[in-house]
Amino acid sequence: MYEKEILDNIQEPLILVDKNANIIYSNQAFDTYSYYVDVKTLISDMLSLKPLKEGISIKNYVYNTDNYTFLIDVYPTENGLYIFFIKDVTRLFKLEEELKKEGMLSTVSKFLIEILHDIKGPITGIKAATEFLKQYPEETDVLEDILYEVKRMEEFLKQLSSLSKPIQLKLSYENIHKILDKVIKNYQNVYKNVDFIRIYDPSLPDVQVDSEKMSFVFENLIKNAIEAINQKGSITIETGISKDPVFSPNMNKVSIKIRDSGKGVPEELLDKIFLPFFTTKSFGSGIGLSSAYSIVKSHKGVLRYIGNSTFEIILPIGKEIERD
């Protein structure tokens, strides 16, 4: 009776269930959930996760239904029951998406102003060269200047169009370490003051990827790491099976972590680093990380910054992509 009073007074929605997904107890805060969510399915889905079957707690698991998003913690008990803490975070997630959209619109607007300014330069150069050529047609060397300016404009347009085109993948099972080694070797030959440290899991299975596009992702992350340490320091590349309770609860995905010896990403920039056109550099278009993010996402994977100057890629081994 005393325990029930304690549970009733907990403000977070809470339920106690058995291994067959039967609800043994629910507090008042949870009762309203039963009106708009299939609780039985939610419980069954959670109990099917590998960590819970092995008696391991799960925290901050994001569970999505058609219209709602929940954040769930589950704790196995010694007597074979499970304590669920379930929080409806639908409004928070929607608000976050709206804020991201607003931030992206602002960033895109700034970029368009910059790129229009940049395009104006080549147009002015082409105009001046053609007017000169009109007066002096024998001066064909000016054609090289015109072609140079045209190529500059083509590059701008290529960057813009790459963001709108759907990504077409040529998938095959590849040794992720061989792809990484090829990319690292190219940078090692150029940046002699950078120490590349490999911590590879030799038992890692081959992963179904588009090797060319995944090489671009690795190149982009390693290049950013080199720039972050001003071309002097260490970069650690670590691989293994992901044990992330949210993105790999069944431990059927691989993890690739790229960490540099720099200061890391400032907290105020964390929500912007994967936005198209965002850059803190005095050069570049800010498309690299955004393109890398899209490529990993098209592989049904995750690209994220996890702190400590570390970016992590989580990729399904293959079956998840095949089902789609």
Q: Which fold has domain 2-88?
A: Beta-Lactamase (3.30.450)
Find how far residue 284's CA is from the centre of its chain. 20
Superfamily of domain covering 172-323? Histidine kinase-like ATPase, C-terminal domain (3.30.565.10)
Find how far residue 117's CA is from the centre of its chain. 31
Multiple choice CATH, 92-164, 3.40.50, 1.20.120, 1.10.3470, 1.10.287: 1.10.287
User: What's the pTM?
Assistant: 0.55
Q: Which of 35-44, 100-109, 112-121 has the highest mean pLDDT?
A: 35-44
> Where in the chain are the domains?
2-88, 92-164, 172-323
Grade residue 317 by pLDDT with cuts at 50, 70 and 90. Answer: confident
Q: What is the C-alpha separation between 149 and 124, in angstroms, rounded? A: 9
Residue type, 241: I
Q: What is the C-alpha separation between 297 and 104, in angstroms, rounded? A: 18
The string of pLDDT tens digits covering residues 193-213 is 999 999 999 999 999 999 988
Q: Enter the tokens of residue 135.
A: 């007066």
The string of pLDDT tens digits covering residues 149-185 is 677 677 566 655 655 567 788 999 999 999 999 999 8
Contact predicate 322/209, CB 8 Å = no
Q: Which of 46, 34, 31, 36 is nearest to 84 (CA)?
A: 46
